[in-house]
Amino acid sequence: MNSLNAKSIIVGRDISSTEKALEDVPLATSGHQVLPEEVIALKPDLVIIDASTGPKAAIEQIKSAGIKVVQTPESWTLADISVKVAAVAAAIGAPQQGALLNAAITSAIQRSTLTTKTRIAFLYLRGTSSIYLVGGPGSGADSLISAIGAIDVGAASLPRPFNTMTAESLATLNPDVILVMSKGLESVGGVSGLLKLPGVAQTNAGKNHAIIDVDDSLLLSFGPRTPSLVIALGEKVSAVGK
């Protein structure tokens, strides 16, 4: 919405809308749970959701209050962004702005290809719960990594979108660069904590401290902020690879 230059008509947001420009917009969720009372109190004409927005009862309450609810397609890969942008633009009656934004997104993504085939592994870390996963095909990160012209070593050889990270499996993947979410990295004690996890020190990424962290709410958001992320990611990978 913000990227469609429609910030002025936004009256509420969810917790994952963390752009600085939206800081003053009231939150209408608790965690990722929609609070129907908060939403109704904001008196919106339209509520935009996707299939993951819930709980369902809250959405039903909003609808029964006479508020129009539009469900847009979910977005899990780069290819999904244009469909979602078009759906949101159509919902607010601004299809032309949607088309312009999509053109800008496509152009930005095309500019970000690396010259070398860097091998990258995406790790999903929640150290406080002892959750250590390696991204595989369909993790979302695979489409970002392929967009910058790098190789997602997890997607190339692991069976599921998210796979348990074992010391030997990571050492075998031997990525040149490890990509993580910022809070995930923090949860294992930062770069030094990550390097202490068995298997990490044995990879090229571990040996060269080639760790890249990206804001949790941005990495797999696949929206209008993604193109700038792809460009920044390409630059960071080039920098740590040198």
Partner 1 sequence: MKKIAPGIALVIATGVAVYVGTAPIDNFWSALFVPGSNEILWQIRIPRVTAALLVGACLALAGLMAQGACNNALAEPSILGTTAGAALGTVVAVLTGLVQVGSVGAIACGALGALGATALTFKLANLRSQLSSFALIIVGIAVSATLTAVVGLLSAMVTRADARSISFWNFGSLALITQENLIGIAITAVIGGVIAWRISPSLDRLSLGDATAFHLGIDVGRVRFIALVALSVLAGGAVSTVGSIAFIGLAAPHIARFVYGPSHRNLIVHTAIIGALLVVVADTLSRSIAQPSELPIGLVTSLIGAPVLIALVAVKNNVWKTQ
Which residues would be at the binding site for partner 1 (CB under 8 A)?
Answer: 127-130, 158, 163-164, 166-169, 171-172, 187-189, 193, 196-199, 201-202
Give the tokens for residue 145: 């990594």
Cβ 209 to partner 1 shortest distance, Å: 17
Cβ 129 to partner 1 shortest distance, Å: 5
Please identify, using beta-carbon distances, which residue of 38 and 186 lies nearer to partner 1.
186
- Cα distances from 19 to residues 5, 12, 14, in angstroms, run 14, 13, 11
Positive or negative, the Cα torsion across 228, 218, 133, 130? positive
Cβ 157 to partner 1 shortest distance, Å: 9
- For the chain, the helix, strand and coil percentages under 3-state DSSP, each to the nearest 5: 45, 20, 35
Please identify, using beta-carbon distances, which residue of 54 and 189 lies nearer to partner 1.
189
SS3 call for 241: helix
Cβ 197 to partner 1 shortest distance, Å: 7
Please identify, using beta-carbon distances, which residue of 1 and 133 lies nearer to partner 1.
133
d(CA 242, CA 239): 6
